[in-house]
Homo-oligomer: A and B are copies of this chain.
Amino acid sequence: MAGTLKRLAVLGSTGSIGRQTLEVVRALPGRFKVVGLAGGSNTALLKKQAEEFSPQFVYYRDKKANTAFEDYQFLPMEEMAAHPDVDTVVIATPGGFGLEPTLAAVRAGKDIALANKESLVSAGHIIMTEAKANGARIMPVDSEHSAIWQCMEGEKTPPARIILTASGGPFRGYTTAQLAGVTAAQALEHPSWRMGKKVTIDSATLMNKGLEVIEAHWLFNIPFENISVLIHPQSVIHSIVEFIDGSVKAQLGCPDMRLPIQYALTYPERLLNTQLPRLDWDTISHLDFERPDMDSFPCLKLAIEAGRRGGTLPEVLCAADEVAVELFLSNRIKFNDIAKLVQQVLEQHENVFIAKPTIKDINTADAWARDRAMRLVLGDEPC
């Protein structure tokens, strides 16, 4: 039996997706061996996870934590992602921390369960090229991209169009004026999904959906003009694919990230997991749809436009958004300022824009954008 265990490295194991990944591993005994865990600042949880799963490798950001992990081999995330003892790398690290491990994993030809969307958003052209060259498989963990992937499974003809659904977040239907006064606490109350803070705020601004459009463009090789966004408040239909004959497929399910996580881990098989909730059609009387309001939620427009133009702009978008969301969460800017700040940084980036960036260019653009965003808010002195 041990020989058939799929060996996992879970990067970002203490975050929301990382923890749910380990829930799936627990629910499917005899299927997986966790050989690597990489956490961020939550050393206590990482230690608990290491005690439960006894990984070979551990990565922790806080160097002072080394006494807690004396029994494990410390390995940087990039090395863990490429290690020969790892079959599938789950990349659930937040934001910019995903790029280097993703690159290492694609270069090592790994199976990659990719929950970090920023790496594809900022370096999709490099990652997809390297994945193809090295035989790496990128399996999306985002519910929307998993939906599209599931709908494309077995199809011989590429999709004509994809439609990403969006719940609309807690402020669906709000006007710009109404959005002016919303608080971080309100923004963190997502109506349907259990997610980390950053992505929950990005869902409230629709920035998250914009990043997903860019991600879908790279994952499925679909031109931006054939990707659209549809607001669907119930989050039952996770996304929609239209084929050239007019046939349309949708993937549906309860809003529970463990389902796309499990599908990526067990693909192409599906396994019974009694812990996963089932859609109950007795309780679904209607599913609603509406067009996104790009005026009240300009982040969606900004992201799609940055994706369409490409180059360093998507990285600048991500970096500026990360700063903006942090500032919003710490009550230093207002909700509507998130889009304004991102837009300003994007506009100021025109002078240093690079159309075909290397990873170094992307990292430079990232640092530039973070610095720029901070200066714009806190004044021209470095913080």
Inter-chain contact B282/A156, CB cutoff 8 Å:
no
Q: Chain B residues with Cβ under 8 A from A62's Cβ?
A: none
> 1/0 contact trace for A277-291 toward B, CB 8 Å?
111011011111111
Copies of this chain present: 2
- For window 234-290 of A, CB contacts with B under 8 Å fall at 237, 240, 242-254, 256, 259, 262-263, 266, 268-273, 276-279, 281-282, 284-290
Q: Chain B residues with Cβ under 8 A from A276's Cβ?
A: 245-246
Q: Chain B residues with Cβ under 8 A from A380's Cβ?
A: none
Min C-beta distance of A151 to chain B, whole Å: 7
Inter-chain contact A286/B288, CB cutoff 8 Å:
yes
**A153 on the B face (CB < 8 A):** yes
Min C-beta distance of A275 to chain B, whole Å: 9
Which residue, A151, A153, A248, has most C-beta atoms of chain B within 10 A?
A248
**A150 on the B face (CB < 8 A):** yes
**A126 on the B face (CB < 8 A):** no
Contact of A247 among B245, B251, B281, B288 (CB under 8 A): B251
Inter-chain contact B157/A154, CB cutoff 8 Å:
no
Contact of A154 among B154, B237, B253 (CB under 8 A): B154
Contact of A153 among B154, B248, B282, B286 (CB under 8 A): B154
**A333 on the B face (CB < 8 A):** no
A250 to B291, CA, bound (A): 21
> 1/0 contact trace for A11-36 toward B, CB 8 Å?
00000000000000000000000000
A286 to B231, CA, bound (A): 11
Min C-beta distance of A340 to chain B, whole Å: 29
A286 to B284, CA, bound (A): 12
Inter-chain contact A245/B230, CB cutoff 8 Å:
no
Name the prevailing secondary structure of the A interface residues: loop
Chain A: number of interface residues, binned into ranges = 35 or more
Contact of A245 among B228, B250, B273 (CB under 8 A): B273
Min C-beta distance of A58 to chain B, whole Å: 30
Contact of A281 among B154, B256, B289 (CB under 8 A): B289
Inter-chain contact B271/A244, CB cutoff 8 Å:
yes
Inter-chain contact B155/A153, CB cutoff 8 Å:
yes
Q: Chain B residues with Cβ under 8 A from A155's Cβ?
A: 153-154, 270
**A46 on the B face (CB < 8 A):** no
Q: A282-B291, A285-B289 are in contact. Are A157 and B269 (CB under 8 A)?
A: yes
Q: Chain B residues with Cβ under 8 A from A242's Cβ?
A: 278-279
Inter-chain contact A287/B287, CB cutoff 8 Å:
yes
A270 to B287, CA, bound (A): 28
> 1/0 contact trace for A97-133 toward B, CB 8 Å?
0000000000000000000000000000000000000
Inter-chain contact B246/A259, CB cutoff 8 Å:
yes
Min C-beta distance of A141 to chain B, whole Å: 13
Q: Name A244's closest neighbour in chain B (CB-CB).
A: B272
**A89 on the B face (CB < 8 A):** no
Q: A154-B154, A156-B268, A163-B281 are in contact. Are A273 and B287 (CB under 8 A)?
A: no
- Nearest 4 A/B pairs, CB to CB: A154-B154, A153-B154, A248-B252, A246-B276
A residues near B, CB below 8 A? Answer: 150-151, 153-157, 163, 228, 230, 237, 240, 242-254, 256, 259, 262-263, 266, 268-273, 276-279, 281-282, 284-291
